[in-house]
A and B are shown apart, each in its own frame.
Chain A
Amino acid sequence: MNLAHLGYGAAIVLVSACLVVVLGLVVVRFGRDRAERRRSTLRTPVWRDVLMLTTGEPDEAADAFSRLLSAAPAGRAAVQDDAFGLVPKLRGTARERLRQVLWEWGATQEAARWTRSRSSVRRCRGLHRLGVLAPRSPEPFLRDEVLARLDDRDFAVRRTAMLALGSFPEPVVVEHLLHRAALEPRLRADFLSSVDRIGAPAVPVLRRGLTRSLAETPGGDRRGFLAAEALGLVGAVSAVPTLEAALEHSSAELELACIHALGQLGASSCVVALAGPLGHRDPAIRRAAAESLGLIGGAWAVPALGDVVHDDNVEVARAAANALHRCGPSGHDALASSTAPVAREVIALTALGSLA
């Protein structure tokens, strides 16, 4: 055998290998296309019923509901992902009808199984689905499945669990959310998002969390900081006395969070609570108090801000002048009669249309 024969043999092997690879790719592509066509055929009639269920008049929706309950498992499977994607985009009866169908299909039990899967992706999908279906899930074991995943080894799973728990408006859930978010700072935004969705049922737990934080740690800890932030976000006016009391014993970070929360609450009762921090020795706190009074606005905030436009710190004085501008006619009068340079600055900028 000479060199030419060897080269010839190698070329044949190479060409054959290429042919096998190309043939394999064609088979895979053909199989995928076929599966996609089959899925599309199965999906079309069931998806049409989903659309009728969510958009139709009551009698049309009732008919679609019956058809969906008797849909073949393959048809259900073909629309289930899309149906879960659609639920959060709807509200009212459309949302409830779709949730009910998914519930009747047994999607909750499947999602609960997924939360115990070895795959973190599947655990996330299961948690997301339990969050979507939560208001139709009276069984505490489902809530406990999601709560248990707050301690999952995978961050994405912990995060998805935190977001899903926003659909479970129960005090015990808020306790766990606050605890986990205090341990893991990067979950802060997800914690706030979930507590915002839970709303009023979270308030007693958050108030208790803030009070305990101050009682157990001098100046408060991260749990107190998160509780104060969440109280402002939820709009809990009943929390004003708790936030006001917290101002007296807090670290600077917690005090800023309480001041910001009082501003977000926007109640006239917050003005009295914010008058104290206007005289604080730390300019950052004086400035935050002035900004929060500006958020509250209204004539009742004007007397508290009148003197602060003369503050030694120009940033504090400017925040007070901007806050007065937000207080309506009485604030504008106070600016006009003030001799402070920042008051004239705000009036001039307003005239130039630079302020909203």
Chain B
Amino acid sequence: MARILVADDDVDIRELVEFKLSTLGHDVVAVSDGAAAIDACQAERPDLAVLDVMMPGVSGLDAIRAIRSDPTLADLPVILLTARAQETDVETGFDSGADDYITKPFSPRELASRVQALLTRVR
């Protein structure tokens, strides 16, 4: 079991990811914007974060940069879950420090598999 942060301004996606990861036994913290994601990372110390890119205020990319610049969170595995599917978007995502990149529309089971694989790798 791991503690996982989910940040997405789309309530459907948030609810779906939260439901899937909870049924796998993970403890899920869900927030709706990048600033709340940074705060939750500092307060909850998750084992992994799933972030949307386009969120109001602080974007997912800015949130990753903030996470990476914090020495206590620099190693946090981050998966970007986003509708931005262009090659350059994926490059930018990885350049910002993401460990994995999933484009919407997405398969919840595939997301769960990637979460599991990343958690296994970092443990």
Contact = CB atoms under 8 A, between A and B. Distances in A.
Q: Tell whether A and B belong to one assembly.
A: yes
Interface of A: 48, 51-52, 54-57, 82, 85-86, 88-95
B12 A91 contact: no
A90 B108 contact: yes
Contacts of A93: 107, 109
Given A86-B12, A89-B10, A55 B106 contact: no
Contact of A94 (B10, B13, B108): B108
Interface residues of B, number: 16
Contacts of A89: 10, 12-13, 16, 104-106
Interface string B7-43: 0001011011001100100000000000000000000
Nearest to A83: B12
Of B10, B12, B13, the most chain A CB neighbours within 10 A belong to B12
Contact of B110 (A52, A86, A88, A92): A92
Contacts, number: 46
Contacts of B108: 54-55, 90, 94
Interface string B39-62: 000000000000000000000000
A163 B116 CA distance: 37
A85 B15 CA distance: 13
Contacts of A48: 19
A57 B107 CA distance: 12
A51 B16 contact: yes
Contacts of A94: 107-109
A55 B20 contact: yes
Contact of B16 (A86, A88, A92): A86
Nearest to A92: B107
Of A56, A88, A89, the most chain B CB neighbours within 10 A belong to A89
Contacts of B15: 51
Contact of A55 (B12, B19, B104): B19
A95 B109 CA distance: 12
A95 B12 contact: no
Contacts of A85: 12
Nearest to B103: A91
B105 A55 contact: no
A159 B110 CA distance: 34
Contacts of B13: 89
Top 4 closest A-B pairs, CB basis? A55-B20, A55-B108, A91-B105, A92-B107
B110 A55 contact: no
Given A51-B15, A54-B16, A82-B12, A90 B105 contact: yes
Contacts of B104: 89
Nearest to B107: A92
Given A86-B12, A89-B12, A92-B110, A51 B105 contact: no
A91 B16 CA distance: 13
Contacts of B12: 82, 85-86, 89
Contacts of B112: 55
A95 B105 contact: yes
Nearest to A356: B88
Contact of A91 (B10, B19, B107): B107
13 contacts: A51-B15, A51-B19, A54-B16, A56-B23, A85-B12, A88-B105, A89-B12, A89-B16, A89-B104, A90-B107, A91-B107, A92-B110, A94-B107
Nearest to B83: A89
B54 to A, nearest CB: 14
Nearest to B13: A89
A55 B109 contact: yes
B52 to A, nearest CB: 12
B59 to A, nearest CB: 19
B20 to A, nearest CB: 4
Nearest to A91: B105
Interface in B98-123: 104-110, 112
